[in-house]
């Protein structure tokens, strides 16, 4: 039943539902309200009441936005390619963030606007801003998707940084070789930023934070909430009691009283002195304007291409669906790339980002391909299977990821679709953040081989080679085109191991020389190791995955290359026929991963299954036809969703809900798991937890135990554990 509707002036994004401060500029109060945020294809953001109810419980009419925001530079636009714009706005800490039609991120703080508009109020930091600077007309691009929000830990300061990310095409005026889509990011909140006092004379000092912008304290009414002040040991508080009794804190102010972004002035209010070398932790939110040059993340995704006309260029890589955040500062991106040669497809990219461009690393780049015949692998006598290969239907042709990935624990799930002539859809499961290690094995001892020359003549010169399928070359010669093990690669010469640390720095040369670098190394293809420009170490093909070689070569009789820790594809599943594609993003709920094909068939698979070296041994848990096939899957982004035991599945003929799933129940003294028929699977009435935090590795932990006492609502976390409020013991608990 439709409760209410609103006629939009244009095509709308998917909605965002948020509890936010009342943005209505005609209402003084900023009390929380439930709201729906959408964006139209002109870039305008609308905030509507989620529950438009009058005091007498009747429905408000007409339904109208309570807040509207339009970027100064907005106009009707399109994401182009496989982009997903207009995309949903997000609401974080009082700010609305939305991606404009010109590829800029826009931010509005409605309650700050109210405060600024009141008589006598003013503030150095703005209530709205955009980035890149709207005054720079050359910095325009096509929006792809975003914004997204995620936390990272800054490697240098240890601070927890809240980042807003968005993705666009290349900007106007980019060089001819900058063909791929771009990833952007900007810090908007910082917690526990470790900073040092400057100009400290005992009575006042100045602090410069790690992330420059206009600062606002966590409690806007109390600037002192922006700092924690300790003695030099970082443990002992600088003053006993409430810090507000001792110091005055002025944000965006130098010691001399100048207004500058990113500064904090601390002034003593009493006769006490500041510590001579205080340790200060700062927490703050950030906003920007034309006076601030922030430390933004701006990065072209891989693989880059030579200039057009070089003879080895390939087509652009376009962000497909909204990228996903994972643990350890990781971000996972699906890249669609229109094929130019016989074997190339799209890419899965995993970046570790520290919030700024120079600190970001490409942890892995999984290049999807349709296989490589022996002409690509001189001297090997093997034909490598495609990334996705069916024993009966052959290789997937032009495998492309077309939607968002799903991250659950240490795994990443991606749906891919292929062209006619092979399997049309598949679900892939990857290790999320492994170490990529190649080992050289001594043929005589079957142990790690030292890469030091005999007689004390130093170590072998190590070079690496991989077939460069993205450039469409054939007949490459490893001895000529191999790349020295340099930046992005660490070689342990004692133990014969080669570890890839940054794939962005591990480029493949086009055949016949190093004039153009056209791709990165990829775990989807084997690597050849060459020593001293002469010796090609044979690969032990029994260690290779994915897929089974059509004609496995003879086992290496001497030294060999072990690739068992190289490929991070754990398994893949090819849906049953008929299947015309899998453009819907997967979703993980509990221990099960779900996806729906373009033909309206829902599949459920165990998300916790182990490694199978990419061979097609994964079995489905169940499947069910839930609707008619889609006529245009690229235009209808479908996503399975679920929570609290209910699975929602869209299809071509409507929305389907499944509820025959396990349910968690919290009663007076137990957490109980029930199956779909209401039978008890298990229950728990007591819990144990560490009494202290170990200070040394391997130390035994003291354990405390207690009852489950008046538990509140229990639910599953994304990693499979169970969260609940143990109300009677004043605890929030996570159990596995």
pLDDT of residue 575: 92
Backbone angles phi and psi of 727, in degrees to 5: -60, -40
The confidence score (pLDDT) of residue 172 equals 76
* Mean pLDDT of all residues belonging to the chain: 83
Q: Would you call 729 helix, strand, or coil by DSSP? A: helix
Instruction: Please give, one letter per residue, the 3-state secondary structure of 39-68.
Output: EECCCCEEEEECCCECCCCCECCCCCCCEE
CA angle 121, 124, 130 (to 5 degrees): 115
What's the token pair of residue 716?
A: 């599953």
The Cα–Cα gap between 315 and 151 comes to 33
Instruction: Give the residue-averaged pLDDT of 484-507.
Output: 91
The set of long-range contacts for 239-243, using a CB threshold of 8 Å and a minimum separation of 24, is 239/272
Look at the chain and count its residues: 736
Lowest mean pLDDT among 68-77, 263-272, 634-643: 634-643
Residues contacting 263, CB < 8 A, separation 6+: 206, 207, 208, 209, 251, 252, 253, 254
For the chain, the first-to-last Cα distance in angstroms comes to 39
In the predicted structure, residue 238 carries a pLDDT above the cut 70: yes
Of 135 and 585, the one with more pLDDT: 585
CA distances from 386 to 74, 202, 334, 422, 550 (A): 44, 68, 18, 11, 11
Same domain for 508 and 528, yes or no, is yes
> How do residues 166-182 score in pLDDT, each as one tens digit?
999 888 766 656 788 98
Residues in a beta bridge with 651? 654
Q: Is there a cis peptide before residue 34, judged by omega within 30 degrees of 0?
A: no
Residues 465 and 411 in one domain: yes
Region of poorest pLDDT, from 64-73, 77-86, 294-303, 498-507? 77-86
How many C-beta neighbours within 10 Å does residue 555 have?
10
524 and 589 in a single domain? The answer is: yes
Domain-located, residue 581: yes
Q: Which of 607, 633, 655 lies at the terminal end of a domain, its last residue?
A: 655
Mention every residue, 6+ apart, whose C-beta is less than 8 A from residue 405: 321, 323, 324, 332, 333, 334, 348, 412, 413, 414, 585, 586
Confidence of residue 287 (pLDDT cuts 50, 70, 90): very high
Q: What are the backbone angles phi and psi of residue 296, rounded to the nearest 5°?
A: -95, 160
Domain shared by 637 and 725, yes or no: no
The domain tally of the chain equals 2
CB neighbourhood size of 701 (10 A) = 11
- Alpha-carbon distance of 562 to 551, in angstroms, equals 19
Give residue 635's pLDDT: 47
- Structure-model confidence comparison of residues 112 and 479, the more confident one: 112
Look at residue 454 and tell me if it is in a domain: yes
* pLDDT the model gives residue 380: 61
- Count of CB atoms situated within 10 Å of the CB of 417: 27
Per-residue tokens: 429: 């499961």
- In terms of domains, do 634 and 677 share one? no
Mean pLDDT check: name the lowest of 207-216, 536-545, 570-579, 658-667: 658-667
Cβ atoms of 518 and 312 within 8 Å: the answer is yes
Is residue 576 a contact partner of residue 623, using CB atoms and an 8 Å limit?
Answer: yes
State yes or no: pLDDT of 512 exceeds 90. no
Predicted local confidence at residue 252, as pLDDT: 94
Give CA–CA dist 211/285, Å, rounded.
Answer: 10
Are 548 and 515 in a shared domain?
yes
| Confidence bin at 556 (pLDDT 50/70/90) | confident
Using one digit for the tens of pLDDT, what is the confidence trace for 594-611? 998 888 888 988 887 655
703 plus 579 within the same structural domain: no
Is there a domain that residue 249 lies in? no
How many Å is the maximal CA-CA distance in the chain? 93
CA-CA-CA-CA torsion for 166, 167, 168, 169, nearest 10 degrees?
160
> Which DSSP letter does residue 431 get?
E
pTM tops 0.95, yes or no: no
Sequence-separated (6 or more) residues with CB below 8 Å from residue 273: 202, 203
Angle value at C-alpha 68, between 62 and 72, nearest 5 degrees:
145
Residue 134 lies in a domain: no
In a domain, 605, yes or no: yes
pLDDT-derived band at 406 (thresholds 50, 70, 90) equals: very high
On whether both 611 and 726 belong to a single domain, the answer is no
Pair 650, 505 in one domain: yes
For the chain, the 3-state helix, strand and coil shares in percent, each to the nearest 5, are 5, 40, 55
Q: Checking phi first, is residue 355 left (phi over 0); if not, alpha (psi -120 to 50) or beta?
A: left
Distance of CA 692 to the CA centre of its chain: 33
Confidence (pLDDT) at 637:
46
Q: Does the pLDDT of residue 365 top 90, yes or no?
A: yes
CB 37 within 8 A of CB 89: yes
Q: Residue 91's pLDDT is what?
A: 96
CA angle in degrees (0–180, nearest 5) for 195-200-205: 65
At 572 the pLDDT is 92
Are 699 and 596 members of one domain?
no
Q: Is residue 233 part of a domain?
A: no
**612 and 667 belong to one structural domain:** no
| CB 412 within 8 Å of CB 350 | yes
The DSSP-derived string for 216-237 is E-SSTT-GGGGEEEE-TTSSSB
Q: Which residue has the higher pLDDT, 689 or 285?
A: 285
Give the range of the structural domain holding residue 688, as residue numbers without chain letter: 663-735
Distance CA 27, CA 656 (A): 40
Share of the chain above pLDDT 90, in %: 37
573: pLDDT strictly greater than 50: yes
Mean pLDDT score, 414-429: 93
> 501: burial class by Cβ within 10 Å (0-12, 13-18, 19+)?
middle
Neighbour-count burial of 459, counting CB atoms closer than 10 A to its CB (0-12 exposed, 13-18 middle, 19+ buried): middle
Q: How far apart are CA 95 and CA 76, in angstroms?
A: 23
Contact partners, residue 196, CB within 8 Å, separation at least 6: 207, 277, 279, 280
Compute the radius of gyration of the chain from its Cα atoms.
28
Asked whether residue 232 is assigned to any structural domain, the reply reads no
Percent of the chain with pLDDT over 70: 81
44 touches 23 (CB < 8 A): no
Is 383 part of a structural domain of the chain? yes
Q: Measured between alpha carbons, how far is 460 from 537 in angstroms, rounded to an integer?
A: 12
683 and 636 share a domain?
no
Domain stops at, among 655, 678, 696: 655
Mean pLDDT of 138-163: 86
User: pLDDT, tens digit, for every residue of 3-13?
Assistant: 788 888 888 88
Domain boundary residue among 626, 655, 684? 655
């Amino acid at each position: 039943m439709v409760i209410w509707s609103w006629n939009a002036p244009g095509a709308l994004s998917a909605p965002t539902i948020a509890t936010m401060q009342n943005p209505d500029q005609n209402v003084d109060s900023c009390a929380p309200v439930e709201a729906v945020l959408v964006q139209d294809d002109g870039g305008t953001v609308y905030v509507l009441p989620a529950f438009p109810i009058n005091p007498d419980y009747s429905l408000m009419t007409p339904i109208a936005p309570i807040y509207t925001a339009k970027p100064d530079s907005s106009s009707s636009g399109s994401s182009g390619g496989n982009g997903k714009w207009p995309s949903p706005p997000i609401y974080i800490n009082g700010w609305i963030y939305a991606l404009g039609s010109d590829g800029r991120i826009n931010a509005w703080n409605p309650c700050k606007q109210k405060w600024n508009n009141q008589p006598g109020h003013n503030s150095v930091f703005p209530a709205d801003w955009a980035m890149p600077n709207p005054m720079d007309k050359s910095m325009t691009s096509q929006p792809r998707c975003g914004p997204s929000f995620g936390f990272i830990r800054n490697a240098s300061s240890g601070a927890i940084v809240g980042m807003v990310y968005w993705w666009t095409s290349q900007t106007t005026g980019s060089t001819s070789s900058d063909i791929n889509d771009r990833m952007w990011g900007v810090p908007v909140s910082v917690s526990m930023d470790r900073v040092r006092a400057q100009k400290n004379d005992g009575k006042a000092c100045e602090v410069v934070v790690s992330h420059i912008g206009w600062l606002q304290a966590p409690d806007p009414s109390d600037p002192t909430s922006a700092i924690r002040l300790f003695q030099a040991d970082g443990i002992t508080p600088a003053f006993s009691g409430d810090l507000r009794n001792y110091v005055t804190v002025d944000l965006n102010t130098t010691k001399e009283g100048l207004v500058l972004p990113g500064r904090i002035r601390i002034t003593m209010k009493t006769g006490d002195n500041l510590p001579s070398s205080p340790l200060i932790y700062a927490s703050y939110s950030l906003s920007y304007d034309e006076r601030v040059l922030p430390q933004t993340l701006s990065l072209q995704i891989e693989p880059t291409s030579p200039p057009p006309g070089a003879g080895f260029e390939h087509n652009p890589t376009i962000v497909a669906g909204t990228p996903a955040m994972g643990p350890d500062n990781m971000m996972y991106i699906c890249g669609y790339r229109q094929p130019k040669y016989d074997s190339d497809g799209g890419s899965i990219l995993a970046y570790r980002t520290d919030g700024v461009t120079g600190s970001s690393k490409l942890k892995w780049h999984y290049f999807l391909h349709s296989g490589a015949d022996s002409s690509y692998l001189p001297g090997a006598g093997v034909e490598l299977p495609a990334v996705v290969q069916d024993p009966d239907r052959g290789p997937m042709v032009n495998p492309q990821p077309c939607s968002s990935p799903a991250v659950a624990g240490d795994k990443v799930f991606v749906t891919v679709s292929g062209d006619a002539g092979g399997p049309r859809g598949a679900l892939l499961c990857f290790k999320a953040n492994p170490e990529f290690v190649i080992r050289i094995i001594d043929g005589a001892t079957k142990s790690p081989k030292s890469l030091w020359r005999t007689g004390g003549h130093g170590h072998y010169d190590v070079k690496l080679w991989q077939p460069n399928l993205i450039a469409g070359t054939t007949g490459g010669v490893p001895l000529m085109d191999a790349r020295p093990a340099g930046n992005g690669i660490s070689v342990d010469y004692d133990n014969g191991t080669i570890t890839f640390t940054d794939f962005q720095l591990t480029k493949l040369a086009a055949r016949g020389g190093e004039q153009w670098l056209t791709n990165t190394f990829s775990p989807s293809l084997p690597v050849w190791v060459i020593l001293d420009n002469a010796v090609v170490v044979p690969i032990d093909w029994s260690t290779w995955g994915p897929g089974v070689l059509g004609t496995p070569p003879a086992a290496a009789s001497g030294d060999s290359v072990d690739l068992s820790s190289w490929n991070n594809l754990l398994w893949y599943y090819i849906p049953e026929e008929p299947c015309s594609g899998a453009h819907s993003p997967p979703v993980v709920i509990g221990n099960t991963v779900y996806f729906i094909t373009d033909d309206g068939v829902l599949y459920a698979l165990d998300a916790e299954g182990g490694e199978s070296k990419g061979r097609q041994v994964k079995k489905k848990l169940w499947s069910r036809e839930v609707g008619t096939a889609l006529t245009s899957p690229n235009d209808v982004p479908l996503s399975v969703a679920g929570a609290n035991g209910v699975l929602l599945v869209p299809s071509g003929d409507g929305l389907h809900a499944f509820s025959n799933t396990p349910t968690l129940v919290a009663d007076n003294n137990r957490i109980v798991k029930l199956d779909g028929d209401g039978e008890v699977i298990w229950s728990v009435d007591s819990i144990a937890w560490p009494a202290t935090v170990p200070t040394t590795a391997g130390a035994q932990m003291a354990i405390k135990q207690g009852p489950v006492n008046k538990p509140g609502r229990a639910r599953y976390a994304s990693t499979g554990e169970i969260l609940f409020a143990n109300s009677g013991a004043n605890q929030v608990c996570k159990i596995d």
